[in-house]
Structures are given as C-alpha cells and as structure tokens.
Homo-oligomer: A and B are copies of this chain.
Amino acid sequence: MTPEEITKMLRQVRRGRLSIEEAVDRLRNLPYEDLGYAKIDHHRTLRQGFPEVIFARGKSPEQVEGVVRRMLRREHNILVTRGDKPLFERIRRLDGRAEFHPLSGAIAIRRDKKVRGKGIVLVISAGTSDIPVAEEALVTAETMGNRVQSIFDVGVAGIHRLLGQSRHLRRARVIIAVAGMEGALPSVVAGMVAVPVVAVPTSVGYGASFKGIAGLLGMLNSCASNVAVVNIDNGFGAGYLASVINRL
C-alpha cells in the first residue's frame, strides 16, 4: 500500500464512499504482519515509500517464499537479495514477472515501473571483480523507481579512463562508487562532481585488503567530503540510500 493509496482511501472515507469498518479492516495489518519467524513491516511503504527488502542469506527458502507470498498481496515491487537460482525458480512460480540477476543473486519483481527518482543514479565501479556488488546496487535502484546508468572498470591507477567519463559523472544526480582493494575511486570521483557519492567498499582483494577493510577505511577517510559510506559489499544499501536521496 503506497502513501497515495492510503490518501485515496482516507478521502473515500471522508466522502462516505467507504465504510469505516472496511477501512479499519484494510488498515488492520498495516503495522506489521506476523508469520512467527518474521514480522513483515508493511507500514514501511507508508513511512519510507518502499517495502521491506528480503535478505535471503540465513533464511530458509520456505521462509523467503512465505514472506514474498504475503508481500505480493500488498506491495507492488519486491526485492530479494543474495538469493540463488533455486530460490528464484521458487519465487517465479509465485509471480512470473520475477527476474534473476545471477552475479549478485538479486531477485526482483517489478510490477510498478513508474520512475520516481528525479535524476540519474550512476553506478561506477573500479574493477571487473566489483561488478556483482555494482549489479546489486543497480537492481535495487531500478526496482525502487530510478533511471540508472553504469560504468565499469575505471580504477584510479589508469586515471585517464576515469577522466574520459567525466561527462557522464557530471550528468548524474547521485553517484554510487563501488571499489575493492584500496578503495580510492570514491575520493577521486567525489572531487570531480558536486553531488553526493555513495561509496561501497567490496571484499575484492587479497592479503592486507582484509576482505574489504582496506577499502572501507579508505572511504571513511576520504579527503573529499561529499562521500557517504555504506557497509562492505552492501550494494543493496547503496542503491537504497541513493534512491532515498534521488526522491528528495
């Protein structure tokens, strides 16, 4: 249930076109719906404009399916992250519009394709190995109603590759910069633009990259100040944050 739908319903109540009992019934499960192992926060669509996203890891396929099934009754777009092929098959049986993004494991059901973000969300990544995380960010931003664009493999050790993209950088309203290893990409990108840059460290690298800590620390200490950091490999969080900013 989107805020618009709530507003519409309340108008019907005021005009007497909808009985109070019926309205109460529709709103009853709003705060959350309790499946025992999960409490679905339907209210979030109202509060934040987008429903809960299902993080598949650590949940059984049955649990994920149960949650999706309930959400399909009330929400338009649904996003499952860190899934796999079998989980996707299971979900596609619930709704044939489900799409699978194999690099990131994201499963998206987009029933409402209206663009709500005001500008372009650009996802830029440093290396080929960072693409799975970048893809998660892309799918998230797209499912949440944004126009998206991507540029891959523009690490800072070949700075001319990055400079060659400056036109694209300047056209974006929010930029998501994904990088493993030393994670210097967001600093350089943020210095070239006047918009917020969401920095995503990835666990790509070895040895003293410590599964993304090196990049995370680099981004937190960025000498550019229009940089917002999210958790290691958290492509979803970056896409979500960018969407929230892009709706302002």
Contact = CB atoms under 8 A, between A and B. Distances in A.
A198 B194 CA distance: 17
A39 interface: yes
A63 B131 CA distance: 12
A221 B192 contact: no
Contacts of A119: 248
B222 A158 contact: no
Interface stretch (A4-12, A17-25, A86-94, A147-155): A147-155
B205 A158 contact: no
Contacts of A31: 160-161, 164
Interface in A115-129: 118-119, 126-129
Interface residues of A, number: 93
Interface string A40-78: 010110011100010101110001000000000000000
A44 to B, nearest CB: 7
Contacts of A29: none
A237 interface: yes
7 contacts: A47-B194, A196-B241, A206-B231, A206-B232, A210-B217, A214-B221, A228-B241
Given A208-B212, A217-B217, A227-B241, 19 more contacts: A37-B128, A44-B158, A47-B192, A48-B194, A48-B226, A57-B129, A156-B184, A156-B187, A157-B188, A157-B191, A181-B222, A182-B223, A207-B221, A214-B220, A217-B218, A220-B230, A225-B240, A227-B230, A228-B228
